[in-house]
Chains A and B, each alone.
Chain A
Amino acid sequence: MGAKNLVFGGLCLTGVLALASSLRPRVTPEQWQDFDPAPYKQAGFKEAVAKINRSFRELWLQAGLAPSPKADDLAIARRVSLALTGAIPSLEEVRLLQSRDEAHRIDWWVAGLLKDRRASDYLSERFARAFVGVIDGPFLVYRRRRFVSWLSEEIHNNRPYDELVRTLIASDGLWTSEPASNFITVAIKPDDNDVGVQENVLASRVARSFLGVRLDCSECHDHPFQEQWKQSHFNGLAAFFGPAENSLVGVRDGRSTYQVEDRDTLERRTVEPSVPFLAELCPDAGLPRQRLAQWVTHPKNKAFARAIVNRAWAIMFGRPLVQPVDNIPSEAPLPPALDVLADDFVAYGYDLQRLLHLIAASEVFQLDSAADPNRPGQELTERHEELWATFPMIRLRPEQVVGGVLQAASLATLDYQSHVLFRAIKAASTNDFVQQYGDFGEDEFSDRGGTIPQRLLMMNGELIRDRTVEGLLQASSRIAQLAPDDATAVETAYLVVLSRRPLAEESAHFQARLRGAQSTDRNGAMEDMVWTLLNSTEFSWNH
Chain B
Amino acid sequence: MESLNTRRMSALASVPTANVGVASDLLGSGWNRRTWLKTASLAGAGWLTPLASMLARADEQQGGRQRAQSVILLWMGGGASQLETFDPHPGKDISGGTQAIETNVSGVKLAAGLPRLAEQMDSISLIRNVVTREGDHERGTYLVKTGYSPLPVMVHPTLGAILCHALPIGQTDIPRHVSILPGQWYGRGGFLGDQFDAFKIYDPLNPVPDLAARVPDDRMQKRLDDLQVVENAFARGRMARAKATLHADTVARARTMMTSDQLDAFDVSKESAELRAKYGETPFGRACLTARRLTENGVRCVEVTLQGWDTHASNHDGCKTQNNILDSAFAALIADLKERGQLETTIVICASEFGRTPSINGFGGRDHWPGGFTVALAGGGIRGGRVLGRTDPDGARLTPAQGRKIADIHATILKAVGLDPTVENIAPGPRPIKLSEGSAIAELLA
Residues of A within 8 A of B (CB): 204, 214, 216-217, 225, 319, 322-324, 329, 332-335, 368-373, 379-380, 382, 385-387, 392-393, 395, 438, 443, 446-457, 459-461, 465, 502-503, 505-506, 509-510, 513, 528-529, 531-533, 535-538, 540-541, 543
Contact = CB atoms under 8 A, between A and B. Distances in A.
Nearest to B35: A447
Contact of B223 (A368, A532, A538): A532
Contacts of A392: 34
A510 B212 CA distance: 25
A188 to B, nearest CB: 15
A242 B231 CA distance: 56
Given A451-B197, A459-B254, A372 B230 contact: no
Contacts of A369: 238, 241
A140 to B, nearest CB: 19
Contact of A386 (B34, B151, B195): B34
Contacts of B388: none
Given A528-B226, A535-B227, A536-B230, A443 B155 contact: yes
Contacts of B189: 448-449
B230 A452 contact: no
Given A379-B240, A447-B35, A449-B39, A531 B194 contact: no
A370 B240 CA distance: 10
Interface in B220-247: 222-223, 226-227, 229-231, 233-234, 236-242, 245-247
B247 A540 contact: yes
A334 B258 contact: no
B37 interface: yes
A449 B194 contact: yes
Contacts of A335: 31
B417 to A, nearest CB: 23
Given A332-B31, A382-B34, 5 more contacts: A370-B237, A373-B237, A451-B250, A452-B175, A506-B229
Contacts of A505: 229, 233
B210 A513 contact: no
B247 to A, nearest CB: 4
Nearest to A450: B250
Contacts of B214: 460, 465
A332 B241 contact: no
A386 B32 contact: yes
Most buried by B among A385, A393, A395, A448: A448
Given A393-B241, A446-B428, A532-B223, A451 B32 contact: no
Contacts of A450: 194-195, 245-247, 250
A529 B195 CA distance: 28
A371 B237 contact: yes
A227 B195 CA distance: 34
20 contacts: A214-B152, A225-B431, A333-B31, A369-B238, A370-B238, A380-B241, A386-B34, A438-B194, A446-B428, A449-B193, A450-B245, A450-B247, A452-B253, A453-B199, A456-B211, A459-B210, A460-B213, A505-B229, A510-B226, A528-B226
A369 B211 CA distance: 33
B195 A323 contact: no
Contacts of B241: 369-370, 380, 393
Interface residues of B, number: 61
Nearest to A446: B428
Nearest 9 CB-CB pairs, A to B?
A370-B237, A455-B254, A537-B247, A449-B193, A216-B152, A323-B33, A371-B237, A456-B210, A449-B195
A543 B227 CA distance: 18
B156 to A, nearest CB: 13
Contact of A453 (B40, B200, B238): B200
Contacts of A395: 245
Nearest to A524: B219
Contacts of B175: 452
A386 B253 contact: no
B210 A538 contact: no
A322 B31 contact: yes
Contacts of A334: 31
B222 A528 contact: yes
Contacts of A380: 237-238, 240-241
Given A382-B40, A457-B210, A333 B35 contact: no
B30 interface: yes
A214 B247 contact: no
A322 to B, nearest CB: 5
B263 to A, nearest CB: 12
Given A323-B33, A393-B241, A465-B214, A535 B428 contact: no
B229 A509 contact: yes
Given A204-B152, A455-B251, A459-B213, A533 B31 contact: no
B199 A452 contact: yes
B248 interface: yes
A525 to B, nearest CB: 10
Interface string B247-288: 110110111011000000000000000000000000000000
B36 A385 contact: yes
A371 B242 CA distance: 12
B34 A319 contact: yes
A502 B230 CA distance: 9
B250 A455 contact: yes
Given A461-B210, A529-B226, A531-B223, A448 B233 contact: no
Contacts of B193: 448-449
A451 B210 CA distance: 14
Nearest to B249: A450
A216 B226 contact: no
Contacts of A385: 34, 36
B254 A456 contact: yes
Nearest to A509: B229
Contacts of A503: 233
A322 B30 CA distance: 10
B29 interface: yes
B11 interface: no
B153 interface: yes
B308 interface: no
Given A456-B210, A531-B223, A538-B234, A438 B34 contact: no
B429 interface: yes
Most buried by A among B33, B233, B237, B257: B237
B40 to A, nearest CB: 7
Nearest to A369: B238
Contacts of B233: 502-503, 505-506
A462 B246 CA distance: 24
A335 B31 CA distance: 7
A460 to B, nearest CB: 4
Nearest to A205: B152
Contacts of A443: 155
B443 to A, nearest CB: 31
Interface in B176-211: 189, 191, 193-195, 197, 199-200, 210-211
A382 B37 contact: yes
A542 B37 CA distance: 19
Nearest to B227: A532
Contacts of B234: 536-538, 543
A194 to B, nearest CB: 15
Nearest to B229: A509
A448 B31 CA distance: 20
A371 B247 contact: no
A335 B236 CA distance: 30
A529 B245 CA distance: 22
Contacts of B428: 323-324, 446
B226 A513 contact: yes
A189 to B, nearest CB: 12
Contacts of B37: 382
A454 to B, nearest CB: 7
Most buried by A among B35, B36, B219: B36
A451 B246 CA distance: 10
Contact of A332 (B30, B34, B36, B211): B30
Nearest to A217: B153
B194 A451 contact: yes
